Structure formats: C-alpha cells, structure tokens
Amino acid sequence: MLKIKNDFDLKSTITCGQIFRFILEEDGSYTVIIKDRVINLKEDNDYIIVESNKEDNLKEIIYDYFDLDRNYEIIEKNILKCDKKLESALIFSRGLKMIHQDPFETIIAYIISQNNRVPSIANALNLISLNYGEKVIFKDKEYYLFPSVDKLKTLSTLDFRNCKVGFRDKYLYEIMRSIENNLLDIESIYNMNSEDSLKYLIGFKGIGNKVASCILLFAYQKFDVYPIDTWVKKFMKEDYNIEGEQNIKKFTYDTYKEYSGLAIQYMFNYKRNKK
C-alpha cells in the first residue's frame, strides 16, 4: 500500500475523458489498469491511498502515469498570464493532471474512438483485453491487462471485428502490420516535434487529425496539441466569439503557446462539468 499527498484531483483526472478503461468501485474508489498491474486509488482526506497486486516500483508508476512530478502551478500561472479570462476554469480544474498513457494502447484506443461513443469504445477495449490480455486477480476480482504488441500482431481482421470494433477492424489490422514492419515506430514519436508527429500519425489509415491529436496529447505529453470537439467549439464561441477550427487553433496557439492543449483541457473540463 502506498499513500500519496498531492494537489491531485483523482476523480476529474480519471473521468474527464482521457481514459476509457477505468472502474468506479462501490466504495467510490477507482481501479485502473496500468502496464502490468491493477491499481486501486481511493481518496482519504488529503491523501490518496494506492493499492495494487504488484508493489514494486508502484510509486514510480503512479507518478509517471498521473504526471505528479510536473509543476502544474507554474503552468497555470503562465496560462493565466496569457489570458485572465481563464481564471475560473483554472480554479475549477485545479488538480487535473494530463495522464501519461501507454502509446500503443492509446493508438489502438483512439482508432476505435473514431465515430464512436465512449461506452462502445470502453466495451471494445475491454473485449480486446478479456480475449487477448493477461488475467490478473486482485482482491478476489478478475482483471485483464491490455495485450502486448506481439499478442495483437497475431490477430486477424475478424478477430478484431469480434471485439466489437466494427468497421475499424481493418485499420487495427493494418496498424499492427505497420508496427510489425517498422513503418510505425512508436518510440520515435517521442523525439519528433508536434507538427512532424501529427503529420506522421495522420499518414496511417484510420488516424485522422482528431485521433492523432488525442494520441499526442494523452500518450506523448505534447501539450501544444489538442483535439477540437463540440465542447471546445462551444466554449470558444460563447466566451471568445471565435468560430472555425482554423481560427480556434490560431487563437489558442497565439495565446497559450506551448500550453494550448492544457488550456483547452481546462476549458473543456470547466465547460462540461460546472453546474
């Protein structure tokens, strides 16, 4: 068991739409599956109690995944300096972290996310894990890890289809081929700038602008990249009177520079969740 103290808003971070596979337990705690283990996190006053089936390196894994070593206070100050109007969104979203997800799992998850709803996406990812991932028993319950690259390489288009991914089956099959013959080098994206990595990802079938942006923000921590959805459009229209994706991109990049993705995430969280 691990006890952490941080200005970390567990609920917002897990439920704000960055990840699809999490379980809200009856006691209000959250269970997530990270790398090779199942992890349960429970708020306890100023602390978060972390339990897992594997204790080794647990602190490192949690800090890396929830981005707890980054100084968000400085980022918030910088964003605020660029735009005073974001103050209420920043206060509302304090403690929201950008989850550092596994790139491979994120690529698969967001290809499935195209033209799809959150419950269906989660269902497909759970089926893929159930059918091809390793089983882990934790507190008498069964969980399934996300399958390895090598495991998913062995699947046919039909195998993917049977996991309820629909017409995206061929994209997933093709992306596994691209990984297999090194056309898609997952590690190399860490070393690319945002513009190049966006172009690189969009070059693969099944990955368009929105999916690529999600992958870069949520798995590669490229904070100047972000997806534009209806909530972002609504916020930009209502609060800044800006319309059109190009205009939104230009405005946010001019205003928030390298933290555009984070600023947008704070807006999104505020707009979607405030009463």
Partner DNA sequence: TCCCAGGACTACT
Partner DNA sequence: AGTAGTCCTGGG
Q: Which of 28, 95, 208, 244 binds DNA (CB under 7 A)?
A: 208
β-partners of residue 33 are: 38
Of residues 230, 241, 246, 275, which one binds DNA by CB under 7 A?
230
Strand order in the sheet with 30-34: 2-5, 47-52, 37-44, 30-34, 22-24
Q: Which of residues 136-165 bind DNA (CB under 7 A)?
A: 161, 164
Q: Which stretch binds DNA (CB under 7 A): 50-58, 208-216, 233-241, 256-264?
A: 208-216
Distance of alpha carbon 263 from alpha carbon 58, whole angstroms: 30
- β-strands 37-44, 141-144 pairing: unpaired
Interface stretch with DNA, choices 58-66, 86-94, 203-211, 260-268 (CB under 7 A): 203-211
Q: How far is CA 116 from CA 88, 111, 119, 121, 124, in A?
A: 31, 10, 9, 7, 11
- N- to C-terminal Cα distance for the chain? 35
Q: Which of 83, 93, 106, 109 is nearest to 242 (CA)?
A: 83
Nearer to DNA, 20 or 72 (CB): 20
Stretch that binds DNA, among 45-53, 210-218, 237-245, 263-271 (CB under 7 A): 210-218
28 binds DNA (CB under 7 A): no
Q: Does residue 209 bind DNA (CB under 7 A)?
A: yes
Chosen residue from 53, 78, 123, 221 binding DNA by CB under 7 A: 123
Contact of 66 with 97, CB cutoff 8 Å: yes
Is position 272 an interface residue for DNA (rule: CB under 7 A)? no
- Least distance in angstroms from the C-beta of 29 to DNA: 23
DSSP secondary structure letter of residue 205: T
CA atoms within 13 Å, Cβ hemisphere of 176: 20
Residue 255: CB minimum distance to DNA, A:
24
Site for DNA contains 172 (CB under 7 A): no
- Spatial CA neighbour of 7 closest among 57, 73, 59: 73
The piece of 6-14, 73-81, 88-96, 111-119 that touches DNA (CB under 7 A) is 111-119
The C-alpha R_g of the chain, in whole angstroms, comes to: 19
* Interacting span for DNA (CB under 7 A) from 88-96, 114-122, 189-197, 246-254: 114-122
Q: Does 211 bind DNA (CB under 7 A)?
A: yes
Which is nearest to 106 in space by CA: 15, 20, 202, 194?
20
Q: Is 21 in the site for DNA (CB under 7 A)?
A: no
Question: Under the criterion CB under 7 A, does residue 17 sit at the interface with DNA?
Answer: no
Nearest to DNA of 103, 166 (CB atom): 166
**Which residues of this chain interact with DNA, rule CB under 7 A?**
113-117, 119-120, 123, 161, 164, 166-167, 171, 202, 204-212, 229-230
